[in-house]
Structure formats: structure tokens, C-alpha cells
Amino acid sequence: MASEADILDARPVEPQEIEWLSKGMRNVGFFSKLGRAQLAEVLPYMLMIRYARESAICAEGEPGDAMYLIYKGGVVITKEGWKDPVARLKEGDFFGEMALLFGEPRSATVTTEDETEVFCLAAEDFQRLVDKSPDMTDTLRKLAESRRQSLARS
Ligand code: CMP
């Protein structure tokens, strides 16, 4: 995690958030290929972290130690040498998967635009999921590949 990140709160995931994850989120990329059992298995390892506005959660070039799923708020993705932001991500989107999947440093900087709450999954727990769910990993890898291509475009 970047040192400039201003953490307001970090705690285990609460029941209503688990509900949100297991219902809504199973329709989107990261969790769509995850069975209930796998989801249940990973939830206890997730932390809910609340960041202040304009916190750098990931810094370009740093090693990756976690991936994140946005619960509330939003982030902007920026890259050194780019005039405009690479992307903006909001509730339900995820980030930080590329460094973990490709074993590379963070490809870009991720900064909160508002006060933002994220589910955080540490690299070793992410790896546990990858080992157990090849379908989920395929989905995630395809998305990560297309993100990587859009970064190579500049
Ligand atoms: P990672 O490289 O671990 O850290 C920076 C993150 O920014 C990266 O993972 C992605 O999750 C995200 N990111 C990079 N490029 C894009 C993109 N083109 N669109 C959306 N998100 C991106």
C-alpha cells in the first residue's frame, strides 16, 4: 500500500457487505465465475478499508501486495507520462489485479476521488482463489490483458 494512502478505517467485512458481495457482485467480472463455496471461503480474509479522498492506494512501480474491489466511492487510474487519466473506476469495479496476476510492479497509480471504501484481498489469499477457481482466473486474466493492452497504446 502506498504511504500517501490515508486510511480512515480497516476492519473485517460485515454481514450486510457479505450480502452485497454474494448477491450483486456475482454478476460482475471478478466474482461471476466463483461458486458460493469459494466466495464463502475467501470472505473471511477480506478487509474493508476506508480511504480519505485523494489517497494513493497503489503507486505505479511499487510491488503489488493486494487487489481491491470498490464498495463505495471511486478511483482514478493515472500513469506517468499520460496527459489524461487512463480510466475511472466506481462501485463494483476492481483494481490491483494486474501486478498479482502478471508478477509485475503496479502498472499505474490508483487514487481515490472521494472518500472510498474497498474490499481488500491480500496477495496470498488472492493466490488461494486463483488455485481453486480456474474459471474465475481466466475471466480476470482476460480483463487484465485488455487493460494491459490499453496501457501499451500510448
Ligand atoms: P496493478 O497494475 O496491480 O495496479 C494498478 C491498477 O490499475 C492495475 O493493476 C489495474 O487494476 C488498474 N488499471 C491499469 N490499467 C487500467 C485500465 N486501462 N483500465 C482500468 N484499470 C486499469
- pLDDT for position 55: 96
Domain ranges of the chain: 7-141
- For the Cβ of 150 lying below 6 angstroms from any atom of ligand 1, the answer is yes
Q: Which of 107, 112, 150 is the best mutation target for the ligand 1 pocket, counting ligand atoms within 8 Å of the beta carbon and taking the most?
A: 107
Looking at domain 7-141, which of 1.10.10.10, 3.40.50.300, 2.30.110.10, 2.60.120.10 is its CATH number?
Answer: 2.60.120.10
pLDDT by residue (tens digit) across 106-134?
A: 999 999 999 999 999 999 999 988 888 88
Quickly state the pLDDT bin for 66 (edges 50, 70, 90).
Answer: very high
Average pLDDT over residues 65-85: 95
- pLDDT for position 85: 97
Contact 79, 6 (CB under 8 A): no
- pLDDT for position 2: 45
- For the Cβ of 96 lying below 6 angstroms from any atom of ligand 1, the answer is yes
Confidence check: pLDDT of 62 > 90: yes
